[in-house]
């Protein structure tokens, strides 16, 4: 088979796979979540299997242990989180009113220092920004709603995902062997090597980023609580949960912390500065030590590439796209590096081969 026919075959396969995902996106969420959990837990099952525990028993023990740990964690943290959520819900309207009053006070102070022409220009600009923000927020909420970020079938995830995880963990080796048997024999070694590199990138990023989320969330929660912010625990958990999107988790947490801080402290710049200082400290620690140590540069996923992948995945597939964006970005990154390496070795690049001529 010629190189052109190979290229057409793989291009068609990729297009067909993408169209299938797009068509089945509304029902794939519990299966994708189950696959992700099974991927993370498979090394543990392999470790147990090497010590004489069958995969079925090992899978059952791991799932029972995971449920037990989850119940313990929820039992320890749920009362505290529940109390803070209830208190935040009750205090939020008053905090928003106080934050708005502080914002108006700051705005009036700034405007009083400007000339009439400057005040007119600032007011016009703020009106335009406000209209644009409202339009953007409306479009974003509409997309989130239609993409399924809000209306998620929670019951299906809770019921179907554990079943998917159990069967995938139990039959993981059989599934991988079946997939391997479908590979074109001539190119199987190359495909296996690229799959190994993709697995390495995924393992490094997903497991490392999960640890980054936990560490960042804990540091934000501890720091903002120590700074006197009443709802520092909840805000820190939100920031940590969103930390898998570079910079977004910290910025969302900082925005919430400053808004609630302005409602609690007013324009107390010292206390608001401490809240901002916690953000700078955690961001600096995360970027300087936590991210390089836990994720590492060997993963080869730049922050901009991850942000683009998350936005593109969300636009194409909604919440499902957000879940698969990072794995897809890691796989595409590996394949692009492979294709670039082949191109740099080819006659197209160095001028050798058919139709080539030295420069």
- pLDDT-derived band at 356 (thresholds 50, 70, 90) equals very low
Residues 6+ apart with CB under 8 A from 68: none
Distance CA 45, CA 47 (A): 5
| pLDDT tens for each residue of 16-31 | 887 887 787 777 777 8
For residue 149, what pLDDT is reported?
Answer: 47
**Are the C-beta atoms of 220 and 251 separated by less than 8 Å?**
no
- pLDDT-derived band at 3 (thresholds 50, 70, 90) equals low
**Are the C-beta atoms of 320 and 24 separated by less than 8 Å?**
no
Which tokens hold the place of 344?
């740099």
Specify the 3-state DSSP secondary structure of 183: coil
What's CA 298's distance to the chain center, in Å? 19
Residues 6+ apart with CB under 8 A from 35: 164, 168
**Residue that the structure tokens 């022409």 belong to:** 117
**Residue that the structure tokens 């993409």 belong to:** 147
pTM for this predicted structure: 0.61
Question: What's the DSSP call for residue 2?
Answer: -
| pLDDT tens for each residue of 330-344 | 788 888 888 888 878
């Amino acid at each position: 088979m010629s190189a052109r026919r190979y290229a057409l075959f793989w291009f068609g396969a990729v297009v067909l796979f993408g169209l299938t995902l797009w068509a089945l996106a509304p029902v794939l969420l519990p299966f994708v979540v189950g696959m992700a959990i099974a991927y993370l837990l498979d090394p543990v099952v392999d470790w147990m299997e090497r010590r004489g525990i069958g995969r079925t028993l090992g899978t059952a023990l791991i799932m029972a242990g995971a449920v037990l740990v989850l119940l313990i964690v929820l039992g320890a943290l749920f009362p505290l989180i529940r109390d803070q959520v209830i208190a935040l819900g009750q205090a939020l309207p008053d905090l928003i009113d106080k934050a708005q009053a502080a914002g108006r006070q700051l705005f009036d102070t700034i405007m009083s220092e400007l000339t009439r022409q400057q005040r007119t220009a600032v007011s016009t600009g703020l009106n335009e920004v406000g209209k644009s923000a409202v339009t953007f927020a409306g479009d974003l909420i509409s997309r989130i709603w239609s993409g399924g970020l809000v209306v998620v079938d929670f019951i299906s995830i809770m019921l179907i995902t554990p079943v998917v995880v159990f069967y995938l963990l139990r039959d993981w080796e059989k599934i991988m062997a079946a997939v391997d048997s479908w590979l074109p024999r001539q190119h199987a070694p190359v495909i296996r090597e690229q799959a190994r590199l993709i697995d390495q990138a995924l393992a490094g990023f997903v497991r490392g980023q999960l640890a980054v989320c936990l560490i960042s969330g804990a540091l934000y929660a501890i720091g903002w609580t120590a700074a006197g912010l009443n709802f520092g625990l909840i805000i820190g958990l939100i920031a940590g949960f969103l930390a898998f999107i570079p910079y977004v988790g910290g910025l969302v947490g900082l925005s919430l912390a400053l808004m609630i801080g302005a409602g609690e402290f007013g324009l107390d710049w010292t206390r608001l500065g401490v809240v901002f200082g916690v953000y700078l400290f955690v961001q600096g620690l995360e970027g300087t030590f936590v991210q390089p140590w836990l994720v590492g540069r060997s993963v080869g996923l730049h922050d901009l590439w991850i942000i683009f992948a998350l936005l593109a995945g969300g636009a194409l597939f909604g919440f499902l796209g957000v879940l698969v964006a990072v794995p897809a970005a890691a796989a595409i990154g590996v394949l692009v590096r492979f294709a670039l390496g082949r191109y740099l070795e080819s006659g197209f690049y160095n001028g050798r081969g058919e139709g080539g001529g030295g420069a």
